[in-house]
Chains A and B, each alone.
Chain A
């Protein structure tokens, strides 16, 4: 199945990680004899499909169902629920059981919570008087490899929960996942964190290490050298900008879900009325691996070149006699044809959006806001967008961008725009506005903005970006270098010390810890600038830096990291872990209250 990424080329043995998750799930299924109906909650099914093939599940006598409020239709007498600990889902399960009881059906019920059981959920089961009918277990799936170099904790609401609800359970989840990772790959000696949540995670991780130490002597080499934790809160500017890499743009316009996009079949050149096609997007597709992180402008050129080359080969083939080896060569090239067509179709579809005047106008505006020199123009543009009732989320993205870079809006404008928003889009959005205000994304101006200083010190705006032959990460946004990745760049190269002044201007505290041996108390000495030679693992592989984004990361940022990793001067391979892969839209959507 193409949707599961091939992890063979991963710098870290993620395959082992996935195999372990797979084995754990199979063990659960084996422990329940005979045929059984496996009911998975909808949100989880995407994650599960990245861990295990359906065929393996079927081999173990499983009938698959998605969890829904309707009564369960199955012949099986054994029902296994695989769910997140979510209260709504519990009520579904209860209603299933109640309906079975009234029908006089006798079934055996199992619930496996992912990744761990919740007291509140069990309470509901008790109140509904079904607790004694169920055997309860846990399936400790804490993180899922999305690709060779990307791990996801699949915590969609982490950012909003931390910022608005003060719910920090996701931080525990992250620390637990990292600790689990350390059991497989050794203790990570250097930890650098920026942001409130990041520092918390680092603390929890230390505590876990103290309580349940990873045995160091088991391993001769430490695979992961440094852990960098970054809060999304530190950089809310980047996700609000439109991503311009191929993969980023796909996500912005078509929404990538669990490593694939769904598109109308007509776009892919298949004649099937109204049917949607799933296109897997991961590095098993060699062409996609090559072009995913390029600026979209360049992608079109690359595809054109490849198509022309192919055509030339074909004409040569038909006009002259060929040796067998040349023929073989040609056929090998032909094999890449389906991938070519696939991406040409997708790119063509994307360019129908990117060639629009409104798209270009918007990009211009984003750059103007990031430049932070002409507040009034930006304000008027946003005002006009509201009056034209352009999609709420896209207007909010600009507004948040303006508010964050300007450290808030003047009180008069703040109230005026909020009123205009409610008038244009309806009063029900007051909850959303309020959440954004709580999270500090949309607020009254209280202090002068430090953004120009930050922008200058970290060289966030780069003139004359050559998107075809980039020499800086700014290519991913055609001229804006993502703040988050600039921080990572510094953290990898020299630690926090040299940029401490700038870090203080950004939200949240920062910390740098060296963890070693069995000592559980972290020492706060300065880290020496890591020299490349020392950190090289003996067999010539580069050692690893794991970068964790708490609150989500965008594809464009991942692209920028891959770009850094490919630089010759870089002494490390970089691996990304995130609570969720996000875009500005999906991030804002988590702030909408679900009403009704």
Chain B
């Protein structure tokens, strides 16, 4: 039952997709996380919820700093790619460190992103 409750929580924010009110949404996800954390079996779900909330915060900041509403609701990998495509390597590194992205995945993302903007020089160097 507890599980079901937190589940509904997790779903709620999805329903309000695209709404500019990120504050309540993040709070909901955090609540879901704490509900998940109350039982032992759902450590994975709890961790995922925690990361989701963190991601939304960072994405929100990025949108403010770049003045482009293209980050929220994309995945971690997509966020990193967007950062590199925009030439914002520092932000990309930050997201990478924040979510402990493995080197393997990082290389794929970087190669794809650099290829997208046809930055062959950077691709060569790296």
Measuring CB to CB, which residues of chain A are less than 8 angstroms from any residue of chain B?
383-384, 386-389, 415, 418-420, 422-428, 430-431, 434, 593, 595-596
Chain A to chain B contacts (Cβ below 8 Å), 10 pairs:
A386-B105, A419-B44, A423-B76, A423-B77, A423-B101, A427-B51, A427-B55, A430-B45, A595-B14, A595-B15
Q: Which B residues lie within 8 Å of A389 (CB)?
A: 77, 112
Q: Which residues of B contact A424 (CB under 8 A)?
A: 75-77, 105
Q: Is the CB of B10 within 8 A of A430?
A: yes
Q: Which residues of B contact A423 (CB under 8 A)?
A: 75-77, 99, 101, 105
Q: Is residue B120 within 8 Å, beta carbon to beta carbon, of the partner chain?
A: no
Given A427-B48, A431-B10, CB of A596 within 8 Å of CB of B15 = yes
Residues of chain B with a CB closer than 8 A to A418's CB: 44
In the bound complex, CA of A388 to CA of B52 (Å): 21
Contact of B11 among A387, A388, A420, A595 (CB under 8 A): A595
Q: Is B104 an interface residue (CB 8 A)?
A: yes
Q: What distance in Å separates the Cβ of A436 from its nearest Cβ neighbour in chain B?
A: 14
User: Across the interface, which residues of B come within 8 angstroms of A387, CB to CB?
Assistant: 104-105, 108-109
A388 to B104, CA, bound (A): 10
- Give the distance in Å from the alpha carbon of A583 to the alpha carbon of B62 in the complex: 40
Q: What would 6 more interface pairs be, CB under 8 Å, given A423-B76, A595-B14?
A: A387-B109, A419-B47, A420-B105, A426-B74, A427-B51, A430-B48
Q: Known: A388-B108, A418-B44, A419-B48. Contact between A428 and B14, CB under 8 A? A: yes
Is there a chain A Cβ closer than 8 Å to B17's Cβ? yes
B55: nearest residue on chain A (CB-CB)?
A427
User: With a CB–CB cut-off of 8 A, which chain B residues contact A420?
Assistant: 102, 105
Which of A387, A420, A427, A434 has the most B CB atoms < 10 Å from its CB? A427
**A383–B11 contact, CB under 8 A?**
no
Known pairs A423-B101, A424-B76; A431 contacts B11 (CB<8 A): yes
A305–B48 Cα distance when bound, in Å, is 57
Contacts of B102 in A (CB 8 A): 420
Instruction: Enumerate chain A residues within 8 angstroms of B14, measured Cβ to Cβ.
Output: 428, 595-596
Residue of A nearest to B29 (CB): A427
The SS class assigned to the B binding surface is helix
Residues of B near A430 (CB, < 8 A) are 10, 45, 48
In the complex, A78 Cα to B82 Cα: how many Å?
55
Contacts of B74 in A (CB 8 A): 426
- Please tell me the number of chain B residues within 8 Å of chain A, measured between CB atoms: 28
Residues of A within 8 A of B44 (CB): 415, 418-419
The A-contacting residues of B in range 2-55, CB under 8 angstroms, are: 7, 10-11, 14-15, 17, 44-45, 47-49, 51-52, 55
In the bound complex, how far is the Cα of B81 from the Cα of A426, in angstroms? 13
Q: With contacts defined as CB atoms under 8 Å apart, how many contacts are there between chain A and chain B in the complex? A: 61
A426 touching B73, Cβ below 8 Å: yes
Closest 7 pairs (CB-CB, A-B) = A595-B14, A426-B75, A427-B52, A423-B76, A387-B105, A387-B108, A424-B77
Closest to A415 in B: B44
Cα distance A461–B45 in the bound complex, in angstroms: 38
Cα-based distance from A420 to B51 in the complex (angstroms)? 12
Q: Given the complex, which residues of A lie within 8 Å of B104, measured CB to CB?
A: 383-384, 387
Q: Kindly list chain B residues whose C-beta atoms are within 8 Å of the C-beta of A434.
A: 45
Complex alpha-carbon distance, A427 and B10, angstroms:
10
Which of these, A384, A386, A422, contacts B48 with CB under 8 Å? A422
A427 to B99, CA, bound (A): 13
1/0 per residue B96-124: CB within 8 Å of A? 00010110110011001000000000000
Chain B residues lying within 8 Å of A388, measured Cβ to Cβ, are: 108, 112
Query: Smallest Cβ distance from A358 to chain B, in angstroms?
Result: 15
How far, in angstroms, from A430 to B48 measured CA to CA in the complex?
8
Q: In the complex, which residue of chain A has the Cβ closest to the Cβ of B101?
A: A423
A58 CB to closest chain B CB, in angstroms? 41
Residues in B whose Cβ lies below 8 Å from that of A595: 11, 14-15, 17
Contact A596 B17 (CB under 8 A): yes
Closest residue on chain A to residue B45 by CB atoms: A430
Determine how close the nearest CB of chain A comes to the CB of B30; give it in whole angstroms. 13
Residues of chain B within 8 A of A383, CB atoms compared: 104
- Given the complex, which residues of A lie within 8 Å of B7, measured CB to CB? 431
Chain B residues with Cβ below 8 Å from A428 are 14, 73
Smallest CB gap from A425: residue in B: B75
B73 / chain A contacts, CB cutoff of 8 Å = 426, 428
Nearest residue, chain B, Cβ from A380: B104
State the CA gap A388–B106 with chains docked (Å).
10
Closest to B75 in A: A426
The residue on A at minimum CB distance from B80 is A423
Contacts of B76 in A (CB 8 A): 423-424
Which residue from B11, B78, B101 sits with its C-beta under 8 Å from A593? B11
Report the separation of the CA atoms of residues A464 and B44 in the bound assembly, to the nearest whole angstrom. 44
Tell me the smallest distance from the CB of B81 to a CB of chain A, in Å.
Answer: 9
CA distance A387 to B102 in the complex (A): 10
The complex places the Cα of A420 from the Cα of B75 at a distance, in Å, of 11
User: Closest Cβ of chain A: how far from B96's Cβ, in Å?
Assistant: 11
Give min CB distance, A4 to chain B, whole Å.
Answer: 41
**Complex: how many Å from CA A418 to CA B51?**
13
Docked CA distance A389–B17 (Å): 22
CA distance A593 to B11 in the complex (A): 9
CA of A418 to CA of B17, assembled, Å:
23
A431 to B14, CA, bound (A): 11
Select from chain B the residue with minimum beta-carbon distance to A423: B76
With the chains together, A425 CA to B79 CA distance in Å? 11
Contacts of A384 in B (CB 8 A): 104, 108
Question: Known contacts A418-B44, A593-B11, A595-B11: does B75 contact A427 (CB below 8 Å)?
Answer: yes
Docked complex Cα distance between A596 and B25 (Å): 14
Residues of B near A419 (CB, < 8 A) are: 44, 47-48
Minimum CB–CB distance from A416 to chain B (whole Å) comes to 9
CA distance A428 to B51 in the complex (A): 12
Collect the chain B residues with CB atoms within 8 Å of residue A425's CB. Answer: 75, 77
Instruction: Give CA–CA (A430, B109) in the complex, Å.
Output: 22
* B48 contacts across to A, CB distance below 8 A: 419, 422, 427, 430
Q: In this complex, what residue of B is CB-closest to A437?
A: B44
Distance between Cα atoms of A384 and B104 in the complex (Å): 8
Give B92 Cβ to nearest chain A Cβ, in Å. Answer: 14
* Bound: A424/B113 CA distance, A: 14
Q: Which residue of B lies closest to A389 (CB)?
A: B77
A430 to B44, CA, bound (A): 10
B118 to chain A, nearest CB (A): 19
The residue of chain B having its C-beta at the shortest distance from the C-beta of A416 within the complex is B102
